Structure 1
Amino acid sequence: MAQSGSSVELQDMTRQLYAELKGLAATLRRQHQVGDTLNTTALVGEAYLKLRHSGGWESRQHFLRVAAHAIRQVLVDEARYWLTAKRQGASSAVSLDDQHDVGEAASDEFLVNLDQALTQLEAFNPRLAALVECRYFAGYSDDDITALLDITERTLRRDWVKAKAWLHHVLGEEIH
């Protein structure tokens, strides 16, 4: 069975960047306290499943931007899943000593709220939303982000301040 051009292109790009994506996924799992059901390999795999429907990447940077968006979607979908599961289990007895679950719920809720806020931000300033997505959800360095978004370091710093202020206003929480 012959593979389509975009499928071969995705496989080639994924092979080239797999180690980088896996390292990124490991960092993100630690930062966002993703549950044990979504390990590093699963996060990369889920992102791959989302990426396989797109294609025609113009460059490595374009692929990494699309990968950042796919990873954001996977993390937010996982957070939504856990929030829904916790709401459905709300009728069961809850131990007051079980504070770890409370922290996870807050983290899941924050990710979902952040995703909604980014969707709003994207409507009026796509570059700020892309910056937050690349930094917060994908964990890219400032050098990577300036290359991915084709902006200067000074613009990156200025945009980060604007994005954080806007998100703080909308979410009522600081983003780091």
Structure 2
Amino acid sequence: MALFSVRKARECWRFIRALHKGPTATAAPQKESGERVFSGIQPTGIPHLGNYLGAIESWVKLQEEYDTVIYSIVDLHSITVPQDPGILQQSILDMTAVLLACGIDPERSILFQQSQVSEHTQLSWILTCMVRLPRLQHLHQWKAKAARQKHDGTVGLLTYPVLQAADILCYKSGTSEDQKACC
């Protein structure tokens, strides 16, 4: 049993490393219907039972229910607070391994690292130019997290919801009760 687990882990790591080598990895073929789900998870901290029950378990089920399922490791969202680059890179690999081990199937869904798709930041910039500052300052996310950070938080934290909107709009994803749009 242990030998099987080691072999399976090695296969997962080979797959993850192949994904991180660049644009040579191709997206999994998808059905031709219009229903599409997008969701993302931050690669910070050690994955725990709450991550599994709160998001990952649903993600696995969504692969059966929707024609196109797109999952992202949202590393750009995680840098709204200071991160050690080496630890963050390892966390991205670890989260990828966890998602694959829990049942995210690259044959039935698309799994990618957010920062590798420049359209997220490009669309986020366009949307940021359109939203008013007072609107962002009134959002709960800003108020709650800025209160815990020195100097009232960062601009990245302020514009976090705009990046979330860009993530969803990039893929023209719909909404469903099961879908959680980011993190």
Decide: shared fold, TM above 0.5: no
Higher strand share: 2
Q: Of Structure 1 and Structure 2, which has the larger fraction of its residues in helix?
A: 1
Question: What TM-score, normalized by structure 2, do the two folds share?
Answer: 0.34
